Structure formats: structure tokens, C-alpha cells
A and B are shown apart, each in its own frame.
Chain A
Amino acid sequence: AQSVTQLDSHVSVSEGTPVLLRCNYSSSYSPSLFWYVQHPNKGLQLLLKYTSAATLVKGINGFEAEFKKSETSFHLTKPSAHMSDAAEYFCVVSDTNNNNDMRFGAGTRLTVKP
């Protein structure tokens, strides 16, 4: 069965500095990996996804993530944080053999200081 671990429950950065949100996964098959963002009182929005194509995936709002099979990691990065990036971020894994059985990480709360 697949699972995902988000290594930090809370990350705090200053506006304009880089963002790194860490995610490790476990999967028996070829995984699909996703990052979602959730702003307060809002639903989840897909930032980016990896589905066995290019290992460096570019998403919306300047975010990107790199799939590293040897490290079983899918860390989310952004070169320069913006105040509007403050939100909860979820790393998600789904085995391609099991449609839509998506396993969510516990989430990382990103705080952006002015």
C-alpha cells in the first residue's frame, strides 16, 4: 500500500526567500504524485502532478517539484515566497494500479513573514 510522509508540519519563511516543503513517499507500484494547496475555508487546489513523465514538474504560481525515485522523494520548491503562498500544503500519492485511491500526507502549514 502506498503512503506519504510530509517531513515538516510547519515551515516559516520570509517573503522573497525560497520555499522547500519536503515529502517522502512509499509505493509498491509506479506512483503518481501530487501537491495540493488549501487556503483557509477553501477547498484544495492542484499545484502540480507527476505521472511518470518528466521528473521535474512545473506547476502553478511558480511552484515546482522533482521526483527522485532513488530517494523516494517529491519535494516542493519555489524560488521566492509571496505573502499569498501562506496556506496548508498536501503531498499526495496514488498507485497507478488503484484509480483514485489517493493517500494524503498530514500537511505542511506554510507561514510567510513580511
Chain B
Amino acid sequence: KAGVTQTPRYLIKTRGQQVTLSCSPISGHRSVSWYQQTPGQGLQFLFEYFSETQRNKGNFPGRFSGRQFSNSRSEMNVSTLELGDSALYLCASSLASGVSYEQYFGPGTRLTVT
């Protein structure tokens, strides 16, 4: 069974631009969560989608948004990029929502904002 895939793996953007990251979950998984990892703030939860609905949201500004499609694939969008948005963005999928379901992480998308 294929794992979680994230595209692109690396991305360089300029301040003020917007970016869209994509995550394809493991087949059959319906929950997708997004995380931001930076050296300064560590790993922080962004949001979770389950059955095309946002179930939970971390403490991030409205510039960070996401969506989930009917095939469970998810996209994350960051508008008006700032230098501080440079990070590794990780996506994780699980069969369903809830801590009893193991999350499987993708390799991440490394975003650099210049």
C-alpha cells in the first residue's frame, strides 16, 4: 500500500505570493491533518479535515487555509507569504478522526520564502 505523498517536495516562493501544497493520503484513509515544523516553534498543528469538513484548527492566522476533496486528497493554501512561513509542512492521514487512529506522516514539503 502506498504511503502518504506530498507534492511538491521543495518550493521557493517570494514574500507576498501565495502557495498551495498537496497531500494524498493512504488509500482508504479519510482524515488528513497538517502540521508546520520550524526550528524555532517546533511542530505545530495546523488543521484536520475529515470527510471534506474541517474538524479541528490550530492557532494560525487566516492566511492558512485548507480543503479536502471527495477522494480525501487535501490541499493547504498559504496566502500573502511571510518570511516566517518558511518551514517543513507535514501532512498525516488516518483511517478516521480521533486519537485512537494512528496517523501516518508524509515526507513533507519544504517551503522557503525569500
Contact call A104/B44, Cβ cutoff below 8 A = yes
Contact with B along A78-104 (1 / 0, CB 8 A): 000000000000100010101111111
- Whole-angstrom distance from the CB of B22 to the nearest CB of chain A? 15
Q: Tell me the residues in window 17-61 of chain A with beta carbons closer than 8 Å to chain B beta carbons.
A: 32, 36, 41-46, 49, 51
B48 CB-CB contact with A under 8 Å: yes
- Shortest CB distance B34–A (Å): 11
A51 interface neighbour in B31, B58, B100, B104, Cβ under 8 Å: B100
Q: What's the least CB distance linking A100 to chain B, in Å?
A: 5
B55 touches A99 (CB 8 A): yes
Total cross-chain contacts (CB, 8 A): 58
Selected contact of B4 from candidates A43, A51, A99, A101, CB within 8 Å: A43
Give the residues in chain B near A36, CB-CB below 8 Å.
Answer: 105
Chain B residues near A98 (CB, 8 Å)?
A: 56
Q: Which residue of B lies closest to A41 (CB)?
A: B107
Q: Which residues of B contact A51 (CB under 8 A)?
A: 99-100
| Chain A, interface residues (CB within 8 Å), range | 20 to 34
- Cross-interface CB contact of B98 among A42, A43, A99, cutoff 8 Å: A99
B83 at the interface (CB under 8 A from A): no
- List of B residues within 8 angstroms of A103 by Cβ: 45
Closest to B31 in A: A100
Contact B99 A104, beta carbon cutoff 8 Å: no
Partner of A94, one of B58, B99, B104, B105: B99
Which residues of the other chain, B, contact A44 by a CB distance below 8 angstroms?
90, 92, 105
Q: Do A100 and B99 have beta carbons less than 8 Å apart?
A: yes
Contact for B105 among A41, A45, A106, CB less than 8 A: A45
**Interface residue ranges of B68-106 to A (CB < 8 Å):** 90, 92, 97-100, 102-106
Selected A-B contacts with CB under 8 Å, 5 pairs: A46-B103, A90-B43, A94-B99, A100-B97, A104-B35
> Beyond A96-B99, A100-B98: 17 further Cβ-contacts under 8 Å?
A32-B100, A43-B4, A43-B105, A43-B108, A44-B90, A90-B43, A94-B99, A99-B56, A99-B97, A99-B98, A100-B45, A100-B55, A100-B97, A100-B103, A101-B58, A103-B45, A107-B43
